[in-house]
Structure 1
């Protein structure tokens, strides 16, 4: 996977130099490297700390700034070279990255916020012990109460907290009574998230349980159908929510690069075995397939 990510980075540079307005064919890279676009984007985002689309945008504006500092006389020519149809659109994108206007940079040489070319390297540390089980599951449905919430990488998500608080206590008992499939218990489900989603983008959060496809589900509940397939189940215990967030990161940095599995599209499922305000024992279920 490390080599595949570096191949992708090299392609980004080629596209930006030879044809900056062109799109990077991530699907082709994934096919040639024997993986999937979904997994490739997820791993890039997790390891780089930013989505691929954001990295491409930053690199494009870094090269555009270099052209302006070098004395490019025509702003429209630079805008078109980097894929923009007008100086206004180019200026907005430029300011979003550098915090200053193209004309100011051309005149004074800065200030600039440059994005260096990424290079992925495998650091074998084993700093996070991974307690993992691979389990094959039949098709199941995740049913409960869903809400659209923004993605937040660190700390407790207050939007999820508010959603859970709005669910009546007796509703939890009704959900538990429906639960007739693994994983057992009340689940925290994250779905409909783009593989390289930026922080603040919306996803579906479902507070519910797992049921078999034949289970009769009340019409007032939301449902997510999950195809049959393999799941990687990561166990974690420690301070909440820091331990869980470190576990999320470790799946990308430690486990996937050194194991013959890759992510497949589908929701991630969090099963709490024990939860207090400061401590949690939980299982993180991620849909996977053989790489």
Structure 2
């Protein structure tokens, strides 16, 4: 995976003045666009699209400062149809417009070219099992919320708090298959996992595909497939979020599996009354990596 990510970075450099198809790149590297984007954003700390934008504006800034033609010509060279669109993108990265930077020589915020390196991690083992799961259905109460990488998500917190206590008991009673109990489900995630991007959050339970769904509940149909299930125990949500990150930095690079599209599910089996600690299972959809 490390070599694939470095090859992707090299291709970004070769196509800074034009668009390129990430799906074709992933296919050539023997993986999928979904997995490549997820691994990049997890390891780089930014979405691939954001890295491309920063690198493009870094190189474009050099052309602006060196006076390599008029601003419209530079804008067109880097894929923008007008100086206004180029100026907005330029200012978003550098904090100043191209005319100001050409006159003053700055300010400039440079994005260095990334290189991924293998480091020795994994001193804390990940308690994992692989599950072959038939098609099933997730039922519950869904809402569109922004993605927040660290700490409690207040939008999810408000969504759950708005449900009466008897509704939590009702959903828990509906649970009939694994993943068991009340579930926190994230679906329709942005491929780049960009902070603030919207996802569908569902508070609910898993039932078999043939179980009738109450009309007042939202549903997510989940096809048959394999899942990597990670057991976590400790301060909540910190340990869960640390494990989530470790799946990208440690587990996927050292195991013959890759992520596939699908909901990501957290099942809470035990918790403190104030939810300061919890025992959870993190269910991630996976498929065999190409040999």
SS of alignment partner, residue 69 of structure 1:
helix
Q: Distance in 2 between matches of 1:44 and 1:137?
A: 27
Q: Distance in 2 between matches of 1:176 and 1:263?
A: 28
- Equivalenced residue count is 287
Q: Distance in 2 between matches of 1:221 and 1:78?
A: 53
1:283 is matched with 281
2:130 is matched with 134
Instruction: Report if aligned partners of 1:189, 1:206 keep a CA contact under 8 Å in 2.
Output: yes
SS of alignment partner, residue 148 of structure 1:
strand
1:5 is matched with 5
RMSD over aligned Cα, in angstroms?
Answer: 1.0
1:250 is matched with 246
Q: Distance in 2 between matches of 1:89 and 1:138?
A: 48
Instruction: Report if aligned partners of 1:260, 1:290 keep a CA contact under 8 Å in 2.
Output: yes
Segment drifting more, 185-194 vs 196-205: 196-205
Q: Distance in 2 between matches of 1:232 and 1:173?
A: 27
Q: Please list every run of at least 4 consecutive aligned residues from structure 1 whose deviation after the TM superposition is greater than 2 angstroms.
A: none
Structure 1 residue 226 and structure 2 residue 230: aligned? no
Question: Once the 2 structures are TM-superposed, how far is the Cα of residue 156 of structure 1 from its aligned partner?
Answer: 0.3
Question: Once the 2 structures are TM-superposed, how far is the Cα of residue 87 of structure 1 from its aligned partner?
Answer: 0.5
Out of 162, 171, 176, the residue aligned to residue 158 of structure 2 is: 162
Segment drifting more, 27-36 vs 227-236: 27-36
Q: Distance in 1 between matches of 2:84 and 2:227?
A: 47
Question: Once the 2 structures are TM-superposed, how far is the Cα of residue 41 of structure 1 from its aligned partner?
Answer: 0.6
Instruction: Please give the per-residue CA displacement for 1:157-190, whole angstroms capped at 9, x wherever unaligned.
Output: 0000000001111112221222111111000000
Unaligned runs of 5+ in 2: none
Instruction: Report if aligned partners of 2:190, 2:198 keep a CA contact under 8 Å in 1.
Output: no
Out of 243, 258, 272, the residue aligned to residue 262 of structure 1 is: 258
2:268 is matched with 272
Q: Distance in 1 between matches of 2:51 and 2:225?
A: 32
Q: Distance in 2 between matches of 1:155 and 1:128?
A: 21
Q: Distance in 2 between matches of 1:101 and 1:138?
A: 54
2:26 is matched with 30
Segment drifting more, 225-234 vs 165-174: 165-174
1:123 is matched with 119
Structure 1 residues 44-123: aligned runs within 5 Å: 44-123=40-119
Q: Distance in 2 between matches of 1:281 and 1:222?
A: 26
Instruction: Report if aligned partners of 1:128, 1:250 keep a CA contact under 8 Å in 2.
Output: no
Unaligned runs of 5+ in 1: none
Instruction: Please give the per-residue CA displacement for 1:67-107, whole angstroms capped at 9, x wherever unaligned.
Output: 11112240101100111111111000000000011011111
Q: Distance in 2 between matches of 1:260 and 1:93?
A: 39
